[in-house]
């Protein structure tokens, strides 16, 4: 009698299903690769063709838009980060326990509003509302290069764009930071309370040090969002290809995404390729920032004492 | 030593009197009101009081007064705590202001054209007043529907792979790149769909289905994340019980795990749809815009609601106000759809998710 190893029955259903699942997983990687490959392939003609869409070369064309993109995103980030930390703290530590979920939901609603609606609102409501304060800033702080005149008459300025973008990235940042604050080891907080710390001292000693890496990576994810935001910028800003730090005037650098949205419908030939090439630049930058942010988060969660 | 100095030494043992907060608030409002009216009377251009400025100055005055009072009576530590409470609450209140302003503006200005015509007429041969967004609503439904058809199977299968099968380097890479994929700018997704279609159909291509593909790139990671979360909370005991009865793995997943998580997955899918239904930029690029109704997503330009809002504003014709009115009504309809999807999603997860 020969000893037989138990024969594992390969069920056909299992085989098909697991391969489908693996295939879907691989499909994600393929889609991302395809985005990069197709964008690259379609942007090549912009560099090769004889009749140049950008007479001074590609980088001279994209530089002002890149500058505008980064400037708008940094303004947005400077406004949104402290606010997002405040909101996250309010929901996780200050709001009445029973209300906190509903309050979090109301902030999430901000994320659900389509960007084109933000654009309309920013242009027709927020810009006229903010303009008097721009005049005031220019009168009193005009010596700071950022607040140089002449102030725009409509309020449709870089500053307004920054504020609209800040409102748009606020919910995602607040949600991420809130999650991180809620992971603070309960024992740390209770130990601080037992020593007689006030609520602010608990936050200062236990919550903020624990959440520091998380706050940084949330800010980077928010930055990624702001860099790629299109319609709100396209509607609010009447941008052009200039490089200027003055935030309150009516001549503003456009952003890459808004420039594509505005120019693409009427473009053809190598100009289309040129726009796709600027899109590739945007894709590369947002990918790099997102990957860095996700890497920081994943490294953080491995060492986190929360679990 | 007197009793007064003893209580002074125990910081925080003396607390603010109950009447202080309301009194301070009243004083702050009064002071802000008088300051603002004084400013308004000195400035001939200001015809009326700016209520927002009144509220702002009142809140700031109140916060400073409250902080100083607490600092004097309760000491440095308590007052720092109170200051932070005020700041944090203020940050939250500040974030709610744009939400209210937005909702109010869209409802107020969108109401003008919120009529039957808006839902039954397209913009074909319409100049000036009249017309509607029928063609855009059809386009949005078809393109979003197609995007959902593409994204949901891929999304759910990928989540199943990550939770039930995924081990090793491939699973780690997929998890990482799904996260990265959530950060793809929407306009890049549109350019991708265009670039891919150009290869097949030649330059200048515009097609509804391209919009669906662009939206899928944005929707798939959202579906994966939502499904993954739901599959993870299905108790392992259910899987083990199923294996113990000799049920194969794929049947365990499809007959035990998925039904348990179904309500949560449905919620996630609906929130994902709400997220992409308002996307403008990719559709502007690959689906284009038109004034006529087009039922066929595989042929020619297709209007969608977000693009309708944008082009109504951007390409105003004669009698500009009618175009702006249509843009706001389009925004109102869009926001209503998003809100309704969100509310249904919350209700589904509340009433149909497994208890315990």
In sequence order, what are the residues at sequence separation of 6 or more whose Cβ sits closer than 8 angstroms to the Cβ of residue B179?
A290, A294, B221
Give the separation between CA A244 and CA A269, rounded to whole angstroms. 30
B145 and B131 within one domain: yes
Q: Name the residue facing A38 among B178, B192, B253 (closest C-beta).
A: B192
In sequence order, what are the residues at sequence separation of 6 or more whose Cβ sits closer than 8 angstroms to the Cβ of residue A78?
A162
Q: What is the pLDDT of residue A8?
A: 63
Give the separation between CA A239 and CA A149, rounded to whole angstroms. 17
Name which of B121, B290, B118, B99 is nearest B211 in CA terms: B290
Q: What is the pTM of this model?
A: 0.88
B315 and B168 within one domain: yes
Interface test with A, best of B77, B86, B98, B305 (most A CBs within 10 A): B98
Closest approach of B298 to chain A, Cα-based (Å): 19
Give the separation between CA A129 and CA A116, rounded to whole angstroms. 19
Q: Identify the bridge partners of residue A240 per DSSP, sorted by sequence position.
A: A253
Q: What confidence tens digit (pLDDT) does each residue in B76-88 have?
A: 888 888 889 989 9
Asked whether A276 and B195 are in contact (CB, 8 A), the reply is yes
Give the pLDDT mean for B117-129. Answer: 84
CA A218 to chain centre: 9
Question: Which chain A positions have a beta carbon within 8 Å of B176's beta carbon?
Answer: 291, 294, 298
B305 and B161 within one domain: yes
Both structure tokens of A236:
């609010």
Question: Which chain B positions have a beta carbon within 8 Å of A25's beta carbon?
Answer: 158, 161-162, 166, 170-171, 174
B172 and B318 within one domain: yes
Q: What is the pLDDT of residue A87?
A: 93
| Domain end point (choices B69, B90, B113) | B113
Helix, strand, or coil (residue A231): helix
Task: Provide φ and ψ at A240, rounded to 5°.
Answer: -145, -175
Task: Provide φ and ψ at A231, rounded to 5°.
Answer: -65, -40
* Higher per-residue pLDDT: A301 or A192: A192
Q: For A13, name the nearest residue in chain B, comparing CA atoms only.
A: B250
Pairwise CB contact (< 8 Å): A260 & B187: yes
Helix orientation angle between B76-110 and B51-74, rounded to the nearest 10 degrees: 160
B242 and B140 within one domain: yes
B207 and B333 within one domain: yes
Q: What is the pLDDT of residue A301?
A: 60
Give the separation between CA A163 and CA A161, rounded to whole angstroms. 5
Question: Which chain A positions have a beta carbon within 8 Å of B309's beta carbon?
Answer: 116-117, 120
Pairwise CB contact (< 8 Å): A287 & B96: no
Pairwise CB contact (< 8 Å): B95 & A87: yes
Q: Identify the bridge partners of residue B220 per DSSP, sorted by sequence position.
A: none
The least confident of B53-67, B192-206, B243-257, B281-295 is: B53-67
Q: What is the pLDDT of residue B156?
A: 95
**3-state percent breakdown (helix, strand, coil) of chain A, nearest 5:** 75, 0, 20
The overall average pLDDT reported for chain B is 86
User: Given a cut of 80, is residue B66 above it in pLDDT?
Assistant: yes
Pairwise CB contact (< 8 Å): B102 & A118: yes
Q: Name the residue facing A125 among B92, B105, B346 (closest C-beta).
A: B105
Q: Identify the bridge partners of residue A239 per DSSP, sorted by sequence position.
A: A252
Q: Name the residue facing B180 among A83, A231, A291 (closest C-beta).
A: A291
Question: Which chain A positions have a beta carbon within 8 Å of B104's beta carbon?
Answer: none
Say which DSSP state A113 is in: S
A-B Cβ pairs (cutoff 8 Å, strict): 272
User: Given a cut of 60, is residue A306 above it in pLDDT?
Assistant: no
Q: Name the residue facing B250 among A14, A27, A283 (closest C-beta).
A: A14
Q: What percent of chain B has pLDDT over 70?
A: 92
| Domain end point (choices B84, B113, B142) | B113
Q: What is the pLDDT of residue A1?
A: 45
Q: For B99, name the nearest residue in chain A, comparing CA atoms only.
A: A110
Q: For A292, name the nearest residue in chain B, comparing CA atoms only.
A: B180
Pairwise CB contact (< 8 Å): A282 & B187: yes
Q: Name the residue facing B88 among A18, A27, A89 (closest C-beta).
A: A89
The complex's ipTM works out to 0.88
Closest approach of A259 to chain B, Cα-based (Å): 11
The overall average pLDDT reported for chain A is 86
Pairwise CB contact (< 8 Å): A121 & B224: no
Question: Which chain B positions have a beta carbon within 8 Å of A86's beta carbon?
Answer: 87-88, 90-92
Q: For B217, name the nearest residue in chain A, comparing CA atoms only.
A: A31
Pairwise CB contact (< 8 Å): A21 & B157: yes
Domain that holds residue B322: 118-352
Question: Which CATH number goes with the domain that contains B155?
Answer: 1.10.3720.10
Pairwise CB contact (< 8 Å): A28 & B181: yes
B37 and B104 within one domain: yes
DSSP H helical ranges for chain A: 12-48, 58-89, 97-112, 115-121, 127-141, 158-182, 186-194, 199-202, 208-228, 231-236, 256-263, 269-303
Highest averaged pLDDT of the listed ranges B5-9, B53-57, B247-251:
B247-251
Closest approach of B69 to chain A, Cα-based (Å): 18
User: Given a cut of 60, is residue A307 above it in pLDDT?
Assistant: no
Q: What confidence tens digit (pLDDT) does each residue in A46-105 have?
A: 877 665 666 777 888 889 999 999 999 999 999 999 999 999 999 988 888 888 888 888
Pairwise CB contact (< 8 Å): A22 & B278: no
Pairwise CB contact (< 8 Å): A230 & B185: yes
Interface test with B, best of A94, A120, A220, A224 (most B CBs within 10 A): A120
- Number of structural domains in chain B: 2
Cα distances from A155 to residues A79, A123, B137, in angstroms, run 18, 8, 33
Q: What confidence tens digit (pLDDT) does each residue in B267-297 have?
A: 899 989 998 998 999 999 998 888 888 888 8
Asked whether B124 and B293 are in contact (CB, 8 A), the reply is yes
User: What domains sit in chain A, N to C, each tagged with a CATH number?
Assistant: 12-303 (1.10.3720.10)
Residue B286's CB is within 10 A of a number of other CB atoms, namely 32
Q: What is the pLDDT of residue B45?
A: 57
Model confidence at A139, pLDDT cuts 50, 70, 90, reads confident
Asked whether B219 and B180 are in contact (CB, 8 A), the reply is no
Give the separation between CA A112 and CA A125, rounded to whole angstroms. 19
B244 and B170 within one domain: yes
Both structure tokens of A176:
């991420």
Question: Which chain B positions have a beta carbon within 8 Å of A230's beta carbon?
Answer: 185-187, 280-281
Interface test with B, best of A8, A11, A21, A277 (most B CBs within 10 A): A21
Model confidence at A268, pLDDT cuts 50, 70, 90, reads confident
Pairwise CB contact (< 8 Å): A41 & B92: no
Q: What confidence tens digit (pLDDT) does each residue in A208-232 have?
A: 988 888 898 889 889 988 998 999 9
Asked whether A212 and A162 are in contact (CB, 8 A), the reply is no
B335 and B187 within one domain: yes
Q: What confidence tens digit (pLDDT) does each residue in B146-165 have?
A: 999 999 999 999 999 999 99
Q: For A278, name the nearest residue in chain B, comparing CA atoms only.
A: B188
B208 and B156 within one domain: yes
B157 and B85 within one domain: no
Give the separation between CA B174 and CA B168, rounded to whole angstroms. 10
User: Given a cut of 50, is residue A117 above it in pLDDT?
Assistant: yes
User: Given a cut of 60, is residue B111 above it in pLDDT?
Assistant: yes
B126 and B53 within one domain: no
Q: Name the residue facing B185 among A38, A227, A294 (closest C-beta).
A: A227
H or E element: which one contains B230? helix B208-232
Both structure tokens of B139:
């386009």
Q: For B155, name the nearest residue in chain A, comparing CA atoms only.
A: A24
Asked whether B187 and A298 are in contact (CB, 8 A), the reply is no
Residue A97's CB is within 10 A of a number of other CB atoms, namely 6
Q: Name the residue facing A200 among B80, B174, B181 (closest C-beta).
A: B80
| Domain end point (choices B94, B113, B132) | B113
Closest approach of A146 to chain B, Cα-based (Å): 24
């Amino acid at each position: 009698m020969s000893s037989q190893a138990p024969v594992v029955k390969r069920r056909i259903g299992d085989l098909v299903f697991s391969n489908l699942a693996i295939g879907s997983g691989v499909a994600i990687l393929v889609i991302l690769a395809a985005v990069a490959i197709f964008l690259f392939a379609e942007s090549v003609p912009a560099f090769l063709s004889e009749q140049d869409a950008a007479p001074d070369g590609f980088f001279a064309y994209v530089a002002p838009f890149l500058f505008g993109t980064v400037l708008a995103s940094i303004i947005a980030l400077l406004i949104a980060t402290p606010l997002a930390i405040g909101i996250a703290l309010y929901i996780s530590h200050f709001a009445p326990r029973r209300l906190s979920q509903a309050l979090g939901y109301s902030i999430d609603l901000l994320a659900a509003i389509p960007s084109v609606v933000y654009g309309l609102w920013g242009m027709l409501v927020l810009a006229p509302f903010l303009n008097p304060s721009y005049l005031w800033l220019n009168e009193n702080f005009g010596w700071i290069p950022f607040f140089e005149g002449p102030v725009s008459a409509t309020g449709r300025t870089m500053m307004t764009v920054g504020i609209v973008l800040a409102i748009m990235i606020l919910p995602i940042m607040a949600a991420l930071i809130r999650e991180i604050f809620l992971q603070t080891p309960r024992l740390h907080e209770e130990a601080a309370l037992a020593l007689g710390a006030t609520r602010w001292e608990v936050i200062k000693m236990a919550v903020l040090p624990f959440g520091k890496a998380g706050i940084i990576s949330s800010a980077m994810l928010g930055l990624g969002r702001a860099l790629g935001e299109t319609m709100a910028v396209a509607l609010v800003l009447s941008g052009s290809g200039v490089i200027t730090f003055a935030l309150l005037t009516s001549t503003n650098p456009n952003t890459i995404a808004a420039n594509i949205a505005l120019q693409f419908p009427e473009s053809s030939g190598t100009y289309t390729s040129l726009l796709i090439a600027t899109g590739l630049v945007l894709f590369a930058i947002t990918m790099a920032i997102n990957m860095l942010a996700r890497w920081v988060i994943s490294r953080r969660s491995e060492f986190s004492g929360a679990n | 030593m007197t009793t007064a100095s003893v209580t002074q030494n125990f910081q925080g043992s003396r607390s603010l009197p109950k009447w202080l907060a309301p009194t301070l608030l009243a004083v702050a409002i009064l002071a802000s009101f008088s300051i603002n009216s004084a400013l308004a009377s000195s400035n001939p251009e200001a015809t009326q009081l700016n209520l927002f400025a009144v509220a702002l100055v009142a809140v700031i005055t109140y916060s400073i007064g409250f902080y100083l009072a607490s600092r004097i009576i309760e000491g440095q530590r308590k007052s720092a705590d109170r200051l932070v409470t005020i700041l944090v609450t203020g940050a939250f209140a500040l974030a709610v202001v744009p939400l209210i302003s937005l909702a109010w503006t869209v409802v107020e200005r969108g109401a003008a054209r919120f009529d039957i015509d808006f839902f039954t007429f397209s913009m074909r041969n319409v100049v000036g007043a009249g017309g509607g967004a029928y063609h855009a609503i059809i386009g949005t439904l078809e393109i979003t529907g197609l995007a959902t058809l593409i994204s949901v199977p891929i999304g759910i299968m990928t989540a199943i792979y990550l939770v039930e099968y995924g081990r090793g380097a491939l699973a780690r890479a997929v998890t990482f790149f799904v996260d990265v994929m959530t950060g793809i700018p929407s306009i890049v997704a549109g350019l991708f769909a265009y670039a891919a279609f150009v290869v097949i159909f030649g330059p200048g291509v515009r097609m509804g289905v391209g919009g669906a593909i662009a939206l899928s790139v944005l929707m798939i990671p959202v579906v994966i994340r939502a499904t993954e979360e739901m599959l993870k909370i299905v108790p392992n005991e259910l899987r083990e019980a199923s294996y113990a009865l000799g049920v194969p793995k794929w049947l365990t997943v499809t007959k035990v795990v998925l039904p348990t998580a179904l309500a949560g997955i449905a919620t996630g899918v609906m929130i994902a749809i709400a997220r992409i239904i308002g996307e403008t930029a990719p559709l502007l690029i690959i689906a284009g815009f038109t004034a006529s109704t087009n039922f066929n997503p595989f042929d020619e330009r297709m209007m969608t609601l977000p693009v309708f809002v944008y082009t109504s504003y951007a390409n105003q014709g004669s009698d500009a106000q009618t175009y702006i009115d249509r843009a706001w009504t389009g925004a109102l309809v869009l926001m209503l759809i998003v809100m309704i999807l969100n509310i249904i999603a919350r209700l589904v997860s509340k009433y149909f998710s497994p208890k315990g």
